[in-house]
């Protein structure tokens, strides 16, 4: 049974009425990693895997939610609730709290939700849920919340209730996505522009390492500090500088920095330029050039920013000489998760088999494979 039908059936069985049904997608990031907190550019796209929310008013003062994936119900009083750490309902309550604080009168509702976004693969299932809930409440109660405001409410829900200080890219891509396009987002000004992803005979294949190394969180904070050290050094020469985005490679060469900090800054400056170059390549329909930039991004992340891991490097190195693959790189914060690969459609099954066997031989487990395509952001089904 299709996910949408399953959610509709579950809603009717649980609550005995017809709901409004909306969705919000997961996202990939084509290029531009760790540039967000350095005031730079990212290039995400919404994908064809989504969170679906069915919702209706219930004439009470309670939110009654059922999770299809967890097969569990949760009820909370709209006038008195707080985060429940580690529980899925926290994401939903966080969005309700943000809307209430913004002055929207959220009334009692019944809700069933579920999704086909792989959890833990770095495709932002939590952001998709937050955005779907915000969009559902806005549509149900006719709040007419602007899409850009929904993005901010979803992000703040993650900050204040889930306790994750995420950037804005995930929520932005989920709400603002456009079919067959990527979004170049300026993480400083939040200006954005759409660029076509005309893949022709190629597909986007994600290969999930099925690992998440414990280094991730501490290394993330260390990298942020290292980037800030570069900014502070640059500000001594030019006080106008706000972020690494404002620093050129020429200026970087003049700065007194530890070698490690210099290397981190070099990666960020070059990655920002790679995003801009990638957009030009996409506009010109030059997939080969785009693929080169994707490979360069990986080697920068692995060798200069040092946020890759053995499994991610193995997956990229293994396909490097495959003529059927134009580009591959680790995607996300690092130390696990997925690689993103641009693969000729006729070779997808062969690549999956070959990579799967080699990865299993090396690491003793099979990776997961997901074909994805760029889709529309939040909408009504």
Q: Which residues are annotated as a binding site for substrate?
A: 33-36, 220
Known binding residues are 33-36, 67, 120-126, 158, 220
Task: Give phi and psi for 194, each to the nearest 5.
Answer: -95, 140
The interaxial angle of helices 147-157 and 89-101, nearest 10 deg, is 120
Q: Are 305 and 333 in contact (CB under 8 A)?
A: no
Per-residue CA distances from 364 to 214, 311, 358 (Å): 19, 11, 10
Known binding residues for ATP are 67, 120-126
Work out the burial of residue 3: count CB atoms within 10 Å of its CB; fewer than 13 is exposed, 13-18 middle, 19 or more buried. middle
259 is catalytic: no
- Which run of H or E residues covers position 76? strand 72-77
Catalytic residue among 110, 170, 208, 246: 170
Known binding residues for Mg(2+) are 126, 158
Q: Are 23 and 132 in contact (CB under 8 A)?
A: yes
Instruction: Mention every residue, 6+ apart, whose C-beta is less than 8 A from residue 106.
Output: 78, 96, 99, 100, 137, 141
Instruction: Mention every residue, 6+ apart, whose C-beta is less than 8 A from residue 181.
Output: 45, 194, 195, 196, 197, 374
Q: Are 192 and 44 in contact (CB under 8 A)?
A: no
Q: 277: which 2 tokens? A: 């170059």
Nearest Cα residue to 208 out of 114, 50, 300, 330: 330
Instruction: Just list the catalytic residues.
Output: 170
């Amino acid at each position: 049974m299709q996910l949408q039908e399953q959610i509709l059936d579950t809603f009717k069985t649980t609550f005995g009425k017809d709901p409004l049904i909306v969705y919000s997608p997961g996202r990939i990031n084509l290029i531009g990693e760790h540039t967000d907190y350095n005031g730079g550019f990212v290039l995400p796209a919404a994908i064809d895997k989504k969170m679906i929310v069915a919702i209706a008013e219930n004439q009470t003062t309670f939110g009654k939610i059922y999770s299809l994936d967890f097969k569990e119900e949760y009820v909370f009083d709209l006038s008195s609730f707080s985060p429940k750490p580690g529980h899925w309902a926290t994401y939903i309550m966080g969005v309700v709290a943000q809307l209430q604080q913004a002055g929207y009168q959220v009334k009692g509702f019944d809700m069933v939700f579920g999704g086909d976004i792989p959890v833990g693969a770095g495709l932002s299932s939590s952001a998709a849920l937050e955005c779907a809930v915000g969009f559902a409440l806005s549509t149900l109660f006719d709040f007419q919340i602007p899409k850009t405001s929904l993005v901010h409410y979803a992000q703040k829900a993650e900050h204040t209730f889930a306790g994750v200080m995420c950037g804005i890219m995930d929520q932005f891509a989920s709400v603002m996505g456009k079919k067959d396009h990527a979004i170049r987002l300026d993480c400083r000004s939040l200006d954005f522009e759409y660029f076509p992803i005309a893949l022709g005979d190629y597909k986007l294949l994600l290969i999930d390492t099925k690992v998440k190394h414990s280094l991730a969180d501490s290394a993330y904070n260390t990298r942020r500090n290292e980037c800030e050290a570069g900014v502070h050094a640059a500000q001594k020469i030019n006080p106008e500088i706000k972020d690494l985005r404002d620093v050129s490679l020429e200026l970087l060469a003049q700065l007194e920095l530890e070698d490690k900090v210099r290397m981190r800054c070099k990666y960020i400056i070059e990655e920002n330029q790679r995003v801009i170059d990638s957009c030009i390549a996409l506009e010109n329909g030059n997939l080969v050039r785009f693929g080169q930039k994707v490979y360069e991004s990986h080697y920068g992340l692995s060798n200069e920013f040092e946020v890759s891991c053995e499994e991610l490097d193995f997956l990229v190195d293994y396909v490097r000489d495959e003529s059927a693959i134009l580009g591959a790189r680790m995607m996300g914060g690092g130390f696990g998760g997925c690689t993103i690969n641009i693969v000729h459609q006729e070779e997808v099954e062969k690549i999956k088999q070959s990579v799967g066997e080699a990865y299993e031989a090396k690491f003793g487990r099979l990776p997961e494979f997901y074909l994805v395509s760029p889709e529309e952001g939040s909408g009504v089904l």
